Amino acid sequence: MPPTSRPTRAVWDTVAAPHRLNLGLHAMEASEPWLVIDDDYIQDLAEKHRLLRDERGQVFVELESSRAAQAEARKRVIETLLTHYANEFELNGSQFCIRATGEEFDLTEPHTPPLEVAARCTQEDLVVMEERPEGWCLTAASVCFPTRWDLPTQLGLPMTAIHERVPGYQEQLNASSNQFFDGMKPGLVFKRGNWSLMDDPALFQPSGKMQTRERSDLDASNAGEKVWLRVEHQTLQRLPETGAILFGIRIHRTRLDAVAETPDAARTLLAAIDTMHADMQLYKSLALVRGAATAYLRDALV
């Protein structure tokens, strides 16, 4: 469903030109919350609850061995919410309450996966990575808002396999990504971004990669309303007790006409599209909207 308001941060802040594949990781300030709550909070949580009920096999996965790391991830999420949004949440003994919805979670209840509880409290999707002989592997995840990504097929896989289809990842990023994970220390949170242009504002989009057709109903006259810039604001942090890595993914999206209101943002996005390698354009299914989006942006900059 479309967002009810503009995001609290500029969606286009992760777009850079010329486009190139890189880790783009930056350490966050200690005062900067890695979980962000905005006016879409209640709406986004309702959508998560629906998906965890109706599409559970698609949006939540776990290995039983990951429960300790999940519990530590839940602890980290709750501590962050209580620290940065103290008026919105309450912890009474083992009962954690979301004041906006009245929902309560018993943190001692043994049956619900801890990561699911954490995910039901925040707009971010959450992924737990643990070190195994084959590398850093996905051992649990709640990803209700995937960007053309099929979560169930990724359970138990190392990062190399998870990113197998990403053009250039093996050659340019695989070694540095694993080295970065190996060297992460608890206490720091790192952030990065990833963006796509989409023809649908829906949060839940598990499929749609590698599309080559151009939408015939899109052109420069309507792309401002029908094309969406979708950004994954990602965070990574090492959990001190289990040594697992908690990966957060927050989706922000806005219409192309909102981007065009800021000429520098429009110019940067246009240049990023024009300089993106053909293989990456295919991976992102950019052909669906590229012609209409670039024509619209050029007209807006005249």
Any bridge partners for residue 89, and if so which?
98
The SS3 call for residue 121 is: coil
| Mean pLDDT for the chain overall | 93
Distance of CA 26 to CAs 23, 31, 130, 143, 263, Å? 9, 14, 22, 23, 26
Residues in the chain: 302
Amino acid (1-letter code) at residue 91: L
Residue 5: pLDDT above 70? no
0.85 exceeded by pTM: yes
Burial of 143 (0-12, 13-18, 19+ CB in 10 A): buried
Nearest to 105, CA basis, from 64, 83, 74: 74
pLDDT digits (tens, 9 = 90+) for 232-256: 999 999 999 999 999 999 999 999 9
Cα–Cα distance measured from residue 179 to residue 174, given in angstroms and rounded to the nearest whole number: 9
pLDDT for 10? 62
pLDDT digits (tens, 9 = 90+) for 113-156: 999 999 999 999 999 999 999 999 999 999 999 999 999 999 99
pLDDT digits (tens, 9 = 90+) for 147-190: 999 999 999 999 999 999 898 988 888 899 999 999 999 999 99
> Any idea what the Cα angle at residue 249 is, between residues 190 and 297, rounded to 5°?
100
Which pair of structure tokens corresponds to residue 32?
Answer: 């900067």
Residue 2: pLDDT above 50? no
Which pair of structure tokens corresponds to residue 64?
Answer: 């039983």
